[in-house]
A = this chain, B = another copy of it.
Amino acid sequence: MSDVSDGGAAAARPGRSRRRTDLSEREIVAAALRLVAREGADNLTMRGLAAELGLSSMASYYHVPSKTVLFDLVADAVLADVRVPDSEEPWEKRLREMFISARSELARYPGVAALLLSRTSETPNMRRLSSELRRALRQAGFDRAESDALGEAFTIYLFGRLIFEGRAVAESAAPAEPGPAGARPADAFETGLDLLLAGTRELLRTTSRD
């Protein structure tokens, strides 16, 4: 996880007792992640967090100043495990793998993608990943502005897909056939990702490059 001592998203707490405090923040985030994994970010509650920690209802407010900050901590922690391939790899492989990794991390924590798409906050890991993303696109041959714009589109698709996948499935108790053995379902996320990558290649060919 991130060494980043508190890099922006972290709660502002008065004291400076490093030891106990840092441990506490890790515990807070861990408890929050457990809750989100189990019940989704929609059901992450300041009171529920306190309960998960075995404390009484208002205890969360001692450790975390607001729910906004809690969300940032959670979002950043989820993104912390996203792997970015070595920058010697070809750009397309880099993009592909980093999005597949991001998708699989986000899928473990329902509702977090929705937070990331709808809030403005910039946590350390968001910055890390979006800068890696832009870097890969610059590698591919786009200029700074183009890379920003394309990266935005990829990011929106990623988060959007996860929100889409996280929709309540109505009350259909249908088992949803597992599909024949060999035939990989070619999952929908990757289909869309491939569409974006195909578009990227096409733009690369179409536009004049230096």
Interface residues of A (CB under 8 A from B): 114, 117-120, 149-150, 152-153, 156-157, 159-161, 163-164, 166-170, 188, 191-192, 194-203, 206
Question: Is B149 a contact of A192 with CB atoms below 8 Å?
Answer: yes
Q: A152-B192, A199-B195 in contact; A118/B167 too (CB < 8 A)?
A: yes
CA of A153 to CA of B197 in the docked complex: distance in angstroms? 13
CA of A119 to CA of B163 in the docked complex: distance in angstroms? 9
Closest to A146 in B: B191
Question: Is B152 a contact of A164 with CB atoms below 8 Å?
Answer: yes
Question: Is B199 a contact of A163 with CB atoms below 8 Å?
Answer: no
Question: Is B202 a contact of A156 with CB atoms below 8 Å?
Answer: no
Binding site of A, secondary structure by majority: helix, strand, loop or mixed?
helix
Q: A153-B196, A197-B199 are in contact. List 5 more A-B contacts (CB 8 A).
A: A114-B114, A118-B167, A119-B168, A198-B199, A202-B202
Question: Is A114 a contact of B118 with CB atoms below 8 Å?
Answer: yes
A46 smallest CB distance to B (angstroms): 18
A6 smallest CB distance to B (angstroms): 19
What chain B residues lie within 8 Å of A153 (beta carbons)? Answer: 157, 161, 191-192, 195-196
Interchain Cβ contacts under 8 Å between A and B, 9 examples = A117-B164, A118-B164, A119-B168, A120-B167, A149-B192, A152-B188, A199-B199, A199-B200, A201-B202
What chain B residues lie within 8 Å of A191 (beta carbons)? Answer: 149-150, 153
What chain B residues lie within 8 Å of A149 (beta carbons)? Answer: 188, 191-192
